[in-house]
Structure 1
Amino acid sequence: MGYIDSHVHLWVREIMSDEMIRRVNNMSNNAVDRQLVSIDHIIKEMDEANIEYVVNIVYPSREMWGSNEDIVLRAINFFKKYPDRISIVGGVQPNHLSEKETKYWLEKQYEAGVSGFKIHPPHMWVKPNSYRVEEGGLKQLEIIYEFAQDHNLPIIVHTGTSYFPVARNKYGDPIFADDVSVDFPKLRIILAHSGRPIWVNTAFQLARIRRNIYLDLSSIPPKRILDYIPRLEEIKDKCLYGSDFPDIGVKGLKENLMEFLSISISEEAKE
């Protein structure tokens, strides 16, 4: 059995709207051409690295990318030719939809074959626990968690900072996911990026004490993982390997994996 990369963003022009391309280019001096991937090259690199499967995360963000929920359906449709190599984690933006619209898009993405849902608080400008009365009572967010729990799908929550210009990093504190863990005890919650760089200890402690909270290690340079999480072995069964390819600093699917496999942790932990 090969390796699994639990966190990538495979951008292809076919799933991007003109508005999304315009915004990305405005942010980073024509960055779209540098971020776009060739699927043939990706599959070849996966084969060379013995990466059996990648989880491709696609989510809407009107503030960041000018994208809506339809981008998830376009991604599922485009990547469906690789069902044994690539899955799609989707999402809906609860603070821009009515309760009826939220349910509609969850059903549409589920029927299309989504493998989970992503909440990106700094890009969506929403706290993961804002469904609670004392946090604003955003019913749409509660609907997302209930749907995922009822359909046995994981929720991935971005934690930690984001370097993009319109990101609101105050929403990146993983402590807000603690309420979600308590209120939805059967929901699997994955804290993407483990709160790096400033909330790693919070993410680590939550994974230790909450049975349904997990960490993904994506975007942390593999050679620095033990600097960030020195007690990684204690929660080895609660961690997922991921690269965050093709984000800044990620050298490649293969190179990132090879660096991870070289760090000083037990073979049991790596497995």
Structure 2
Amino acid sequence: MGYIDAHTHIVFKETITEELMNFALREWGAPREALTMSVKDVVEILDDANIDYVGVMAYPSRKLGIAREDYAIKVVNAVRDYADRFAIIGGVEANELTIEETRYWLEKQYEAGISAIKVHPPHMWLKPNAYRPEEGGLKQLELIYQFAEDHGLPVYIHTGTSAFSRARNKYGDPIFVDDVAVDFPRLTIIMSHVGRPNWVATAFQLIRIRQNIMADLSSIPPRRILDYIPRLIEISDKSIYGSDYPGPGVYDIKANLQAFLNIPIPKEAIKKIVDDNPRKVLKPLSRNR
């Protein structure tokens, strides 16, 4: 049995759009060959890396100009022949849609088979708790969390900064995720990037004290992870591995995994992070129906 990479930005030649290609070349610095692989090509790479399945981000961000709500459905359909190798993370841009449109796309993505939902505050330009009356009362965002809670879907919430040119990093503070954890106690919240680099201490504390918040360790270079999170062992029961491949600086999914497997913490803790924990919270497409 292999490993799970719960956070990637893999794109496929079957689904990549011109705007996404241009964005990735310009903002990620990813090599073109990493953006034009077929689904079969990616599966071969996963086989070589001993990765059982990966989480693939397919959320919309009109501000960055990279996707719409139908993108997640296109990705799900593209990988169906390898449904045991992919978990597709969809999303709905709450502050760009009506309540009716939000509900429509949530239902369509769920029917297609998404494994999780992504909320990216710096890319979507909204606070994770913008549904709260004192934060603007965005009912569409409340609907997303309620839908996820009711349908057993985890929600990834980006915390920390984004280097992309149109990102608004004031929305990356993980303290706003605390409201979500309190207001939706049955919701599994996956806190992406653990607030790095500015808010790691805040994120770490919330992961410790809130039962329904987990840590997604993606985008932190494995050689630096204990610099950022020296007490990682304390949250190893609540952490999942992700590479962020082929995001900025991560151009070899196998090498990133191998580096993580060699960080100096007990092997039992590493196995929880790269195997046991992600299997519990993120199911591949083949197990969603």
TM (norm. structure 1) is 0.95
Amino acid in the other structure paired with 1:60: P
Amino acid in the other structure paired with 2:114: V
In structure 2, list runs of 5 or more residues that go unmatched.
Answer: 272-289
1:80 pairs with 2:80: yes
Alignment of 1:105-116 (within 5 A): 105-116=105-116
Q: Indicate if the aligned counterparts of 1:24 and 1:65 stay in contact, CA closer than 8 A.
A: no
Q: Shift of the alpha carbon at 1:268?
A: 1.4
Alignment of 1:134-149 (within 5 A): 134-149=134-149
Q: Shift of the alpha carbon at 1:95?
A: 0.2
Amino acid in the other structure paired with 2:32: D
Q: Indicate if the aligned counterparts of 2:28 and 2:248 stay in contact, CA closer than 8 A.
A: no
Secondary structure of 1:218's aligned partner? coil
2:209 is aligned to: 209
Q: Shift of the alpha carbon at 1:66?
A: 4.4
1:33 is aligned to: 32
Q: Shift of the alpha carbon at 1:21?
A: 3.7
Distance 2:7 2:233 in 1: 21
Distance 1:262 1:128 in 2: 34
Alignment of 1:66-215 (within 5 A): 66-215=66-215
* Alignment length (residue pairs): 270
* CA distance 1:266–1:14, change in 2 (3 Å): same
Q: Indicate if the aligned counterparts of 1:16 and 1:71 stay in contact, CA closer than 8 A.
A: no
Q: Shift of the alpha carbon at 1:13?
A: 3.4
Q: Indicate if the aligned counterparts of 2:62 and 2:68 stay in contact, CA closer than 8 A.
A: yes
Q: Indicate if the aligned counterparts of 2:21 and 2:35 stay in contact, CA closer than 8 A.
A: no
Alignment of 1:44-55 (within 5 A): 44-55=44-55
Q: Shift of the alpha carbon at 1:23?
A: 4.6
Q: Shift of the alpha carbon at 1:126?
A: 0.8
* CA distance 1:35–1:123, change in 2 (3 Å): farther
TM (norm. structure 2) is 0.89
Q: Shift of the alpha carbon at 1:195?
A: 0.8
Distance 1:195 1:173 in 2: 7
Q: Shift of the alpha carbon at 1:248?
A: 1.6
In structure 1, list runs of 5 or more residues that go unmatched.
Answer: none
Secondary structure of 1:102's aligned partner? helix
Secondary structure of 1:175's aligned partner? helix
CA-atom RMSD in angstroms: 1.7
| Larger CA deviation: 10-19 vs 254-263 | 10-19
* CA distance 1:20–1:242, change in 2 (3 Å): closer
For 1:50-90, what per-residue CA distance to the aligned partner results, in whole angstroms no more than 9, with x for missing partners? 11111111100001024210111111111112111111010
Q: Shift of the alpha carbon at 1:47?
A: 1.4
For 1:219-250, what per-residue CA distance to the aligned partner results, in whole angstroms no more than 9, with x for missing partners? 10001110000001111101001100001211
2:17 is aligned to: 17
Q: Shift of the alpha carbon at 1:253?
A: 1.2
Distance 1:240 1:85 in 2: 17
Q: Shift of the alpha carbon at 1:11?
A: 1.1
* CA distance 1:30–1:213, change in 2 (3 Å): closer
For 1:162-203, what per-residue CA distance to the aligned partner results, in whole angstroms no more than 9, with x for missing partners? 111000000011111000000000000001111111111111
Q: Alignment identity in percent?
A: 57
Q: Shift of the alpha carbon at 1:33?
A: 2.4
Secondary structure of 2:226's aligned partner? helix
For 1:94-146, what per-residue CA distance to the aligned partner results, in whole angstroms no more than 9, with x for missing partners? 00000000000000000000001000001000110000000000000000000
Kindly indicate whether structure 1 or structure 2 has the higher relative contact order, using CA contacts under 8 Å at least 6 residues apart.
Answer: 2
